[in-house]
A = this chain, B = another copy of it.
Amino acid sequence: MTKKLYHGAAYYPELWNEETIEEDIKLMVEAGINVVRMGEFAWSIMEKEEGVIDLSFFVNMIEKLHDHGIETVMCTPTPTPPIWLSHHHPERLHVDENGQVMSHGSRQHICTNNTYFRKRAAIITEEIAKAVGHLPGVIGWQLDNEFKCHVSECMCETCKSLWHSWLEEKYGTIDALNEAWGTHVWSQYYHSFEQIPQPISTPFLHNSALKTMYQLFSYEKIAEFSDEQAAIVRQHSQAPITHNSTTFFHVDNERLYKHLDFASFDTYAERSNFASYLFNCDLWRNFKSGKDYWVMETSPSHSASLESYAAPHANGYLKAEAVASYALGGEAFCYWLWRQQRTGCEQPHGSVISAWGKPTVGFENVKEVDAARKELEPVITTTRPAQAEVAITYSDRARAFLKTEPHRDLDYRSLIIPFYERILSAGYHRDLIPEGAKLEGYKLLFTPIVHYLSHDYLQQATKFVEEGGVWIVGPLTGGRTENHTIHTDAALGKLEQLAGVETLYTYPMEGTDSYGEFMGVKASLSLWSSVFQPTAGKAVGTIKGGNSDGAAFMTEHKVGKGKIVMLGSLPSGESGDLLLKKCVDHYAKEADIQLKTDVSRGTIVAPRIRKGEIIWVIVNMDGNGGTVSIPDGGKDRFTGEELTKGQYEVGPFQYKVIVFPMNKDEELGNNQLVDSVQQ
């Protein structure tokens, strides 16, 4: 658990002279920066010529910063291979899906699977780990930077060969693959693994299995590179290792963090999109269970490059972001970047200090963050986020399936965020959890948009239901097999029997004048949908009109002490939103959800606990201010005011900390957590 709250910035001292560095450190101290991240793009400085490695600059930097009370997260510099690695070596370069070979000049241009790249990456990583791994200033490591942020699957010859081996390992024999993929469908049939193409240009679409498997292959390979780097670092350093990722990059975050020590994310969401920001907090908290996450990059004001930009944050928003994150489990809140780039392609990006060494438009906001951090530190470091009772499954593998099969232009993020937002804005404390997460402690589980439900997932979810949980499945969930093929036993495979339904039909509901009715709310149905007929369960949502008038789009079925709710379609529009809200509230009540606050949209409550106490961190995120209903017994942590039950106002971007005594039941539910806080 967190011993300290970090407030940091990405720092590139290798690009500036000594005088500027002195100035920087002075200003960092002024701004309350207590950690920097360094080195991730500095390979050409560290190893200017192949084999000639000199890390003294960074050793000195780390020590100098440490002397000023600033700690360091050290990075491996592999996202930006020097020219000596790529020049005259086109075979080492990343190849995109159109066969375009990348050039030196930006970053991520070399294929991370290239053998020689891997060799040189291992050498520089080991040298860095040796040189700085033991320094007291080094409190953590970041591997590479934003894996696969600019590139997706690579189509180079190295990848082709690895792809064949990966397939062979996965399927064993070519006939097993042919059968699994149904390759006879368009005479695609392969005689050997060596014949299987990468998903490059074809007159029409590739086989879905091939498309999905290539993504999973690519996910696995980048994670292997991460594992490899982590293993090297660990030989020379005790400091924990992370990687800064997002839900946009072409990685499987769950797999990626498996062998890392803590999780961190980068975010540049604008204020209007604060739900996306919170989505990250609620998800990253759960990639490494029990470990606090880091916000590794966010702009002090606005993101930008030569060709794009966002509007700067309104004054006050940065503080709200920082407070929300610290409260939701973030150990650090770090900026990209400290000093504005003088050159390159991100010169216009917001920074703490300008290229000419002056405070930027974000500087005062950074100081506000620091004040908040100092005020919150005693609260945060003695508590832990309360155990959420509501969970939503997040899956980068589901994202891959949807990329292969987007129907028209469905996008995983765009589908799951409104789902999340509905639960957020209704005031539920919630977790976004990876597919493989344990389900203990939850009472209500949502599994939307997971085309393929794994055997393990089904088992866990069944156990969860049997023990009393309510599981809401769908829409767009369960209709594909592991190999992205169609089930041949039933539309949703084994799930149907479990859920006590038969899927009559699956088809797109848009434009068919089909409505769904649930508890008196009627809404237009959209998305590719499953039409149900209960077998053991019962219909709770009925279709009106269209091709399946009278059949069910929602069913429920008691299993053990719990219940499986099937949601076969997506109610849309304003009334669809109402219907889904009703659905959430209804089943939250059934599941006996306690951690819900009555808070106005745009303001959030992050509950934290310690022995005998629940602490609410309240933050207004939208800048409009809001209200929150507070029960009896609370006390304002900062003003000391004893609060009576009632509705309280929260000013624009204001935060408050309210402390409540914890009742027995709550303590029980959070036992394990409370224990961990006590340690």
User: Complex Cα distance A342/B486, Å?
Assistant: 5
Flag if A187 contacts B81 (CB, 8 Å): yes
Chain B contacts for A96, CB-based, 8 A:
201
Q: For A406, what are the chain B residues with a Cβ–Cβ distance below 8 Å?
A: 306-307
Question: Is residue A314 contacting chain B, with contact meaning CB distance below 8 A?
Answer: yes
Given contacts A204-B106, A344-B208, A505-B360, contact A308 B48 (CB under 8 A): no
The interface centre, meaning the residue of A15, A48, A207, A209 with most chain B CB atoms within 10 A of its CB, is A207
Known: A182-B344, A343-B209. A197 touches B103 (CB 8 A): yes
Assembly CA distance A268 to B534 (angstroms): 33
Query: Which A269-315 residues sit within 8 Å CB-CB of chain B?
Result: 301-302, 304-312, 314-315
CB of A489 within 8 Å of the partner chain: yes
CB proximity to B under 8 Å, residues A502-559: 504-508, 510-512, 528, 531, 547-548
Cβ-based interface call for A43 (8 A): yes
Q: B486, A108: Cβ atoms under 8 Å?
A: no
Q: Are A201 and B306 in contact (CB under 8 A)?
A: no
Do B104 and A188 have beta carbons less than 8 Å apart? yes
Taking CB atoms, residues of chain B closer than 8 Å to A311 are 508, 510-512
Interface membership of A181, Cβ < 8 A: yes
Instruction: Give, as a whole number of angstroms, the nearest-CB distance from A357 to chain B.
Output: 8
A487, B307: Cβ atoms closer than 8 Å: no
Q: Which residue of A184, A189, A209, A357 has the most chain B CB atoms within 10 A of its CB atom?
A: A184
B42 and A488 contact, CB distance less than 8 A: no
A105–B207 Cα distance when bound, in Å, is: 7
A205 touching B356, Cβ below 8 Å: no
Contact with B along A76-87 (1 / 0, CB 8 A): 010011111001
A87 touches B195 (CB 8 A): yes
In A335-372, which residues have CB < 8 Å from any B CB? 340-345, 347-348, 350, 354-358, 360-361
Contacts of A49 in B (CB 8 A): 191
- Among residues of B, the one whose C-beta sits closest to the C-beta of A489 is B356
Residues of B within 8 A of A181 (CB): 343
Binary interface encoding of chain A residues 470-512 relative to chain B, with 1 for a CB under 8 A from any of its CBs, else 0: 0000000000000101111111000000000000111110111
| Structural contact, A201 and B347, CB atoms closer than 8 A | no
Contacts of A236 in B (CB 8 A): none
Verify A15–B83 contact, CB threshold 8 A.
Answer: no
Q: Is the CB of A345 within 8 A of B512?
A: no
Asked, given contacts A190-B83, A195-B83, A547-B315, whether A347 binds B485 with beta carbons under 8 Å apart, the answer is yes
In the complex, are the beta carbons of A202 and B42 less than 8 A apart? no
Q: List 18 A-B contacts (CB under 8 A).
A: A44-B184, A44-B189, A80-B187, A82-B187, A83-B191, A103-B201, A104-B197, A105-B210, A106-B205, A109-B202, A151-B203, A182-B344, A185-B342, A208-B347, A209-B343, A306-B406, A311-B511, A355-B486
Known: A41-B187, A204-B345. 15 other contacts (CB 8 A): A44-B183, A98-B100, A102-B202, A104-B195, A107-B203, A109-B203, A182-B341, A182-B343, A183-B343, A310-B508, A341-B486, A342-B485, A347-B485, A355-B488, A361-B531
Q: Nearest 8 pairs between A and B by C-beta?
A: A182-B343, A311-B511, A150-B203, A106-B202, A44-B187, A205-B345, A185-B344, A80-B187
Chain A residues in the interface with B (C-beta under 8 A): 12, 14-15, 41-45, 48-49, 77, 80-84, 87, 94, 96, 98-109, 150-151, 181-191, 195, 197-211, 301-302, 304-312, 314-315, 340-345, 347-348, 350, 354-358, 360-361, 404-408, 483, 485-491, 504-508, 510-512, 528, 531, 547-548
